[in-house]
Structure 1
Amino acid sequence: MKNHSVSLLIASTLVFAASCAPAAKTQAPVAATAQTIKVTEIASGLGFPWGAAILPDGSILVTERDGRLRIIRDGKLVEAPITGVPAVLNDGQGGLFDVALHPDFATNGLVYLSFAKGTKSSNHTAVVRGKFDGKALTNVEPVFDAVPERQTQAHFGGRLLFMPDKTLIVTLGDGYKYRDKAQDLSSDLGKIVRITDTGAPAPGNPFEGQSGKRPEIYSYGHRNVQGIARDPASGTLYAHEHGPKGGDEVNVIQPGKNYGWPVITYGVDYSGAPISMENKRDGMEQPLVYWVPSIAPSSMVFYTGSLFPQWKGDLLVTALAGQQIRRVDLENGAVKAQETLLTEREERYRAIIQAPDGSLIALTDDPEGKVLRLTPN
């Protein structure tokens, strides 16, 4: 294991609100702190690591976007990939995405994977599950296939989160060239879906039994959701999504709600042309916070640990273009302040999860990607 530690003073950056409608908030300022972070490199040389999950014995499963599932065992990256992983579409933004453990993993050994499935001209986001025996996935079976097929290799979403009732949240993108489908309830594009652990639409979903509306849909009007987290105390579900040029959002997700894309947005097209002249409309939800310019949020965790007590109850968001971890300081459901972390390292951060001991595991987005453990210095 290549393991070295670096102590970094948190860059507590004051971030001020951009011009916006008063109904939504951008950045609130945060005072500088004396907190330092110890960054320990657990593993390196991974090809664009995308998702991670911690096994009961402390081993870490890590996905690589090009289709490999790896394991870090006893502090060392095992050279041989886990076998049994399905073929993925490794093109553009496509590939192997997230990994999640079934809530009953200790007894059933089930591991869930999300990935891009198909060809360049016909593909979708898919989820499978298989039984993990320590070296291989066996009895791999399909769980979910998003519809319809798309002809692009972008905006797949792909994050997974199990809920307390053992239903599974799957985040989905709009397919990039199909943004109007985010408002179409007969399509999974631009949605967050909720399914059972076997892949059926979860009972009690908001559009259950409604003609022409897909019963797995939980919320809609999203662009490309790559962060999902839940406050275990309140049950509040948070999601973030990439905006276009500006307009990244964090939203409080409620069943059946419309989050507006592309009818309302705080971003513009990459060319600078407007996507919509509106950033607010009745019947469409406003974000908890949005970012202009974009930071490209890529994953999120709701921190519940005790190692960083001042972060307890806050959201920690990894950012690609922003090359940071963004702390969103929450107080009574509102954004009190924000803080940029680890900007000194100048790395793109793809994912973050919380370990049982309250430390954080972060992945860097790079062809020689790293797995980092964050602890107080």
Structure 2
Amino acid sequence: MRRILALSLSAVLLSGCTSEPAEVPPPTEGATVSPATVDPELVEEEEEGAEVAGTPEPVALDDATREFTVDEHGSFNTGWAMTFLPGTDHLLIAERRGALQLRDQTTGKVTEVTGLPPVHAQGQAGMHDIIPGPTFEQDGMVYLSWVRSHTNGAQGVVGRAYLDMDRHQLTGLQEIWEQTPAAGNGHLSLRLLIDDGHLYVTSGDRQEMTPAQENDTNLGSVLRLTLDGQPAPGNPWDTEQWTMGHRNALGIDTDDQGRIWVSEMGPQGGDELNLLVEGDNYGWPEASMGVHYNNDPIPDHSDDDGFHGPAAWWVPSISPGNLLIYSGELFDGWSNSALLGGLSGEKIVRVELGEPATVVDEWEMGARIRALAEAPDGAIWVLEDGPAGRLLELRPA
């Protein structure tokens, strides 16, 4: 077991549509985990972490330290998502290359799952997410998202199937939703959440920007669907959309009040943590705390712009690839905190979801962090990005 001593840094981030940029601490020295090798094609432009001119000097508000242990459990090829399967002792891991791996948490044995659909794995496209359905313990149903080839490039798809744990096989796969229109290989999002009998899907802007402000596509939005993949009754625009104005939301989770949060990548700077409110518009590409990659400005969020501003944002970027809202008790004082894994930031960030949302801890990990998951016992499992990204288990020291 390898122990990491991580410096805890704090920065206050303002909530709502405020015009004051958040102050995020700079990287600090400390023990780190050696990084995994990264396929250059997977380093998205928004993950470069370039600092925006005029960013205020960071202010560290707390110099306390926190120590936790890190246990390594092998590595995976382009791991993108993972989930603990209820009622079992297994962890299911989605690899972007187009594979699912089932890990027995008791023995450590990893077995590849068969029965997957054909997957278009290029750039940011591939196998994206997998979650247990609400009846998983009775029938083994899982929901998954992936990308398939299309004449116009690539198309995101959501489906459901039954996972046969004994045969390590998906059966009865049914496609229930597709991302329209199809486009290139970027900004797909495709994170999944089931809450209160509805299926939520994050759908990226596909690097086209303007669809995020339109109601005639399902791009640049968070969608609320029935469990059959149809528009949920009561949606604000009589479409699939629940909220709009999103760029590339790669994390979605609920807090202890039942509120839904998403993390999303900004352009050059301006990564966001957003609290979803039915029918609200989150501004992209009309408002952002970042700038375009050619340094053309984007109006900052303001109180009177008509958009729902972020609860927290980061300049320079940390490139959040995921979101976990911790509900356990193993880590004292962390319950109902948002944990974000940084890709370009190579760190884990903890945000307390108060009023305002506040960054209270940052831990340098020395590798791009792609996915986080909470184990039934409250331990936090971390999946590094890349073709040899390690699976890590975090516990209090």
Tell whether the structures are fold-level matches, with TM greater than 0.5. yes
Judging changes above 3 Å, is the alpha-carbon distance between structure 1 residues 78 and 24 closer, same or farther for their aligned structure 2 residues?
farther
User: How far 1:77 sits from its partner (Å)?
Assistant: 5.4
Aligned residues: 357
Q: Would the alpha carbon gap of residues 17 and 314 (structure 1) be closer, same or farther in structure 2, given more than 3 Å must change? A: closer
Tell whether the 8 Å contact from 1:25 to 1:287 is kept in structure 2 after alignment. Answer: no
Given candidates 209, 213, 216, the residue that maps to 1:186 is 216
Distance 1:78 1:198 in 2: 33
Q: Spell out the pairing of 1:106-255 with structure 2 (5 A cutoff).
A: 106-119=137-150, 121-134=152-165, 135-150=168-183, 152-163=184-195, 165-176=196-207, 178-208=208-238, 215-232=239-256, 234-255=257-278
Is the CA contact (8 Å cut-off) linking 1:43 and 1:76 kept in structure 2?
no
In the alignment, is the contact (CA less than 8 A) between 1:49 and 1:369 conserved in 2?
Answer: yes
Query: Shift in Å at residue 40 of structure 1?
Result: 1.1
- 1:287 and 2:318 matched: no
Contact 2:71 2:393 in 1 (8 A): yes
Task: Say whether the 8 Å CA contact 1:221–1:258 is kept in structure 2.
Answer: yes
Once residues 88 and 223 of structure 1 are traced to their aligned partners in structure 2, the CA distance between those partners, rounded to angstroms, is 23
Asked whether the equivalents of residues 92 and 102 of structure 2 are also in contact (C-alpha less than 8 Å), the reply is yes
| 1:328-367 superposed matches below 5 A | 328-331=351-354, 333-341=355-363, 343=364, 345-367=365-387
Q: Does residue 135 of structure 2 align to residue 101 of structure 1?
A: no
What CA distance in whole angstroms lies between the structure 2 residues aligned with 1:23 and 1:271? 22
How well do the aligned residues superpose, as a CA RMSD in angstroms? 2.0
Q: CA deviation at 1:166?
A: 2.1
How far has the Cα of 1:78 moved from its partner? 4.3
Shift in Å at residue 82 of structure 1? 0.3
1:70 deviates by 0.3
Structure 1 Cα separation of the partners of residues 134 and 229 of structure 2: 15
> Residues of 2 paired with 1:25 and 1:196: CA distance?
37
What residue ranges of structure 1 are gaps of 5+ in the alignment?
209-214
Choose 310-319 or 22-31, whichever is displaced more.
Answer: 22-31
Cα pair 1:117 1:125 within 8 Å, conserved = yes
Deviation at 1:229, TM superposition (A): 1.3
In 2, Cα distance between equivalents of 1:116 and 1:24: 38
Deviation string for 1:154-211 (max 9, x for gaps)? Answer: 0000111110x221111111001x1001001111111000111111111221112xxx
What letter corresponds to residue 191 of structure 2 in structure 1? R
Greater relative contact order (Cα < 8 A, sep 6+) = 2
Unaligned 5+ residue runs, structure 2?
A: 25-59
Identity among equivalent pairs (%): 33
Q: What secondary structure, in the 3-state scheme, does the structure 2 residue paired with 1:182 have?
A: helix
3-state DSSP of counterpart to 1:273: coil
Q: CA deviation at 1:80?
A: 4.2
1:366–1:179 CA distance, 2 compared to 1 (3 A): same
User: SS at the partner of 2:313?
Assistant: strand
Contact 1:114-1:159 at 8 Å conserved across structures: yes
| Whole-Å separation in 2 of the counterparts to 1:77 and 1:374 | 16
Q: What are the superposed Cα offsets for residues 123-156 of structure 1, whole Å, 9 maximum, x if unpaired? A: 2211111101111000000021111121x11000
| Aligned CA distance change for structure 1 residues 33 and 120 (closer, same or farther; 3 Å) | farther
